[in-house]
Amino acid sequence: MSLLTSLKEYLPWIQPPLIINAPMSGIAKKQASRCPGGLGQIGYLDDLHALANELEIVKQSLHESNLNVSKPLPIGLGVIVFGSPLEAWLKLFAKYKPAVAWLSFADTKELQEWTEAIRRCSPETRAWVQLGSVRAAVDVARACRPDALVLQGSDAGGHGHESGASVISLIPEVADALSDHGIDGLPLIAAGGIIDGRGCAAALALGASGVVMGTRFLAAEETSIPAIYRDAIFEASDGGEATARSRVFDEIWGPNLWPETYDGRCLKNKVYEQHRSGVDINQIRAWLFSSMNNPAAERLGPKDMGSIWAGTGVGLVKKQDKAEVIVQGVRSNTHRCLERAYLYMG
């Protein structure tokens, strides 16, 4: 709880357990203002004009909720660092001053440059860095002195470290490694495979100060996701079988721009199955193009022609709810799980 108290120094509205919606690119928008007692976030957009518009919408929504939205704006803002223009992003941080800058996908040198620049232009904003390995966590903790480390396990949907571990070993090993290097008191946030109070309680027992949920919020009615994609999420079961990690999901329509460190977890589709069976990516692209343009070709659905990013917890996501209902439900369930564990130990 002492680490949660340290987070409350600049996130005074948060309640235990701290529940955070992942800053999913192009998806996490309106729910940023609907995470009571948690940290709502706006996901990365490469169109900064569109992103500024989303920030204005959330700011107005917070005004209407009678929340203090002066400084800092009580949300997080996600940034995919590699390939992003720092100076343009700094203008957004200086204008809107979000409570948290959620930085991900870059090497230590870039992350250090970004954390230092954001702290200069918006001192109210705290820098959180998302990582997926012990080595990266130690390097970034030493170089950047972030306000929190988000440890993303291999169960997570979307992009992450190709060579990663589940949070069940990642969090304890990072905590031990940081302690060995004399770094104590740094809050660790768990991400990957957490869907409900059971996963949240487990993460807290591992030493996390809060949890991130992405796949769970795909079911939030405020999330910007096509209905046909949301239905595919609800239909999925046996998450370890229904999803896979692969770089092919970023190669469907052209060259993969992501650094070699990263791949992504998606719902399996026909592209993945063909790639796994050895079909060349150029042949796969030609097959997809034919499906789109040749009336006589095989008809493919959206799931097979795109990438539906989802984690291994997808089998536990079965119905749509308001973001607020999701947060309150997970929080209540977490308390019940911890009480059961306490009674068991007693």
Which tokens belong to 19? 């529940």
Backbone angles phi, psi at 155, to 5 degrees: -75, -10
Integer Rg of the chain from CA: 20
User: What pTM was computed for the model?
Assistant: 0.94
Asked whether 106 and 81 are in contact (CB, 8 A), the reply is: yes
16 Cα distance to chain centroid: 19
Percent of the chain with pLDDT over 70: 97
Summarised one tens digit per residue, pLDDT across range 128-181 is 999 999 999 999 999 999 999 999 999 999 999 999 999 999 999 999 999 999
Alpha-carbon span 305 to 269, nearest angstrom: 8
Checking 292-300 for CB contacts under 8 A at 24+ apart, the result is: 300/270
Q: Please name each of the domains of the chain with its CATH number.
A: 2-226+316-345 (3.20.20.70), 237-309 (no CATH)
Summarised one tens digit per residue, pLDDT across range 40-74 is 999 999 999 999 999 998 888 877 665 555 679 99
Which tokens belong to 168? 């069940």
Q: For tokens 């009615």, name the residue.
A: 221
Number of other CB atoms surrounding residue 132 within 10 Å: 27
Summarised one tens digit per residue, pLDDT across range 234-257 is 999 999 999 999 999 999 888 999
Alpha-carbon span 154 to 151, nearest angstrom: 10
What is the SS3 string spanning 75-95? EEEEEECCCCCHHHHHHHHHH
Alpha-carbon span 91 to 69, nearest angstrom: 18
Q: For tokens 């991400």, name the residue.
A: 191
The pLDDT of residue 302 is 77
> Bridge partners of 39?
20
What is the SS3 string spanning 273-342? HHHHCCCCHHHHHHHHHHHHHCCCCCCCCHHHHCCCECCHHHHHCCCCECHHHHHHHHHHHHHHHHHHHH
For 164, the 3-state DSSP assignment is coil
Q: Spell out where the chain has E strands.
A: 18-21, 41-42, 73-80, 98-104, 126-131, 148-152, 158-161, 188-191, 210-213, 243-246, 262-267
Reference 31, options 322, 331, 343; nearest CA is 322
The pLDDT of residue 76 is 95
The pLDDT of residue 70 is 60
